[in-house]
Amino acid sequence: MEKLIERFLKYVSFETTSDEEAGVTPSTPGQMVLAKYLKEELESLGLQEVFLDDNGYLYATLPANIDQQVPVVGFIAHMDTAPDMSGKNVTPRIVQNYDGGDIVLNAAESIVLSPSQFPELKNHVGEDLIVTDGNTLLGADDKAGIAEIISGVEYLMQHPEIEHGKIRIAFNPDEEIGLGAHKFDVERFGCDFAYTFDGGEVGELEFENFNAAAAKLTFTGRNVHPGTAKNKMINSIRVANHFISMLPSHETPEHTEGYEGFYHVISFNGTVEQTVVNYIIRDHSRERFESRKREFQHLTNKINAEYGEGTLKLELRDQYYNMREKIEPVMYVIDIAKEAMLASDVQPVVKAIRGGTDGAQLSFKGLPCPNIFAGGMNMHGRFEYVPIPSMEKAMKVMVKIAELTAKRSTNLTKLT
């Protein structure tokens, strides 16, 4: 377990923040630096078929140690960290035997990780926590997953008495900008099913996620001197606000939970002449998701009818879909994960992701791929932390999944 933590602390020292404006894969050079480091580590451990492609996707194999036909199971994590906050010069600190009180991350800046704001901390009293210094995110999303998978593979190599089939692992770039699965080579990976280790709290097991779309709204106005603007000016900022006001005011992230969908405005930049507004649209129900997209088109038509054709240009693109429809036909992959958790003294918490995951896109590319906890909490910001026991349990679950896949192989239907 010491090696697990040593790995994690090393991985977070790499700056791997992704960049959605880059237009290349990986989107930032630091991700390839980490990928090359991981490649050398996997080779030094003795894994086979270690391959790093030009886009920063790293694959490796742990061969089976039994002769019987066993489905090939994969384990996946991503190398990038979210662009929401800096991932440069991460300075982690271990808080030993957490006492349940406030944790001062940065005294000079009065940055405090407090259970009054993050009550989940109380679930980890008595545990060792890895925290930030308040200036960066931590990177447990998803470098904890990388450390858990590699440590799990190493554990299997050191314990040949645990029988398992062929295991494939993969680490990909750019998950945080929605591009992690786009250039993932499912055929090269060669798995019957896989799991991403990219969840949060201990026990999380997710095979449902949002259907997701992105909308770019470009409002074109007409600028005239305000002193003579009557019946002439079209203020694109006001038109954009008109559009926003026509959407349900409480169908937003800050007013929804569980299976409730939303419209979320993520940027607004404008002048009288032109305003550009970006939205994301989310819903677990495919039917409601399609309805939400139709509503955007309907409101676009209303704006153009009122202010003139061409006032509003709508660019709408789907980002990913709910993986549930691809997992339900092969629910044994969920059964294996549940059994592995219970065998590792972890209570499964099956929940729907209010977001997306590489596993969703991979499932639609033919690789059923639910998501399992990696332990990180408060991800994407300065208050991110990870309890060390959570990482240890994730690693144990990964090992147990490999073992159970072999034990249950006679009852599994080979995917085609």
Express each pLDDT in 201-239 by its tens digit. Answer: 999 999 999 999 999 999 999 999 999 999 999 999 999
**pLDDT tens digits along 344-369:** 999 999 989 888 788 999 999 999 99
Given the residues 142, 174, 175, 403, select the one marked as catalytic: 175
Report whether pLDDT(416) > 50. no
Instruction: Answer yes or no: 174 catalytic.
Output: no
Alpha-carbon distance values, 326 to 74, 157, 329, 369, 409 (Å)? 17, 32, 6, 9, 20
By percentage, how much of the chain surpasses pLDDT 90? 92
| Candidate list 41, 80, 192, 358, residue with the active-site label | 80
| Vertex 12 angle, CA 356 and 3, to 5° | 105
The helix/strand/coil state of 192 is coil
Q: What is the chain's mean pLDDT, rounded?
A: 95
What pLDDT does residue 227 have?
96
pLDDT(414) > 70: no
Over the stretch 81-126, which tens digit does the pLDDT of each residue have?
999 999 999 999 999 999 999 999 999 999 999 999 999 999 999 9
pLDDT in tens, 20-37: 889 999 999 999 999 999
Among the four given CATH numbers 3.20.190.10, 3.40.630.10, 3.30.360.10, 3.40.718.10, the one describing domain 2-209+323-411: 3.40.630.10
CA-wise closest residue to 294 among 215, 238, 355: 215
Please state, in angstroms and rounded to a whole number, the distance separating the CA atoms of residues 399 and 377: 22
Which runs of E-coded beta strand occur in 221-285? 262-270, 274-283
**What is residue 412's predicted lDDT score, i.e. its pLDDT?**
53
Cα dihedral across residues 238, 240, 243, 247: positive or negative: negative
Query: What dotted CATH number matches 211-319?
Result: 3.30.70.360
The 3-state DSSP class for residue 223 equals coil
Return the half-sphere exposure (C-beta side, CA atoms, 13 A cut-off) of residue 161. 0
What is the spatial distance between Cα 220 and Cα 295, in angstroms, rounded to a whole number?
20
Burial 303-324 (b: 16+ CB within 10 A, else e): beeebeeebbebeeeebbbbbb
Which pLDDT score is estimated for 357? 82
Contact of 6 with 151, CB cutoff 8 Å: no
pLDDT of residue 178: 85
- Please, what's the b/e burial string for 255-286 (b: 16 or more CB within 10 A of its CB; e: otherwise)? ebeeeebbbebeeeebebeebebebbbbbbee
Q: Can you give the pTM of this predicted structure?
A: 0.88
Catalytic status, residue 175? yes
- Residue ranges of the domains in the chain? 2-209+323-411, 211-319
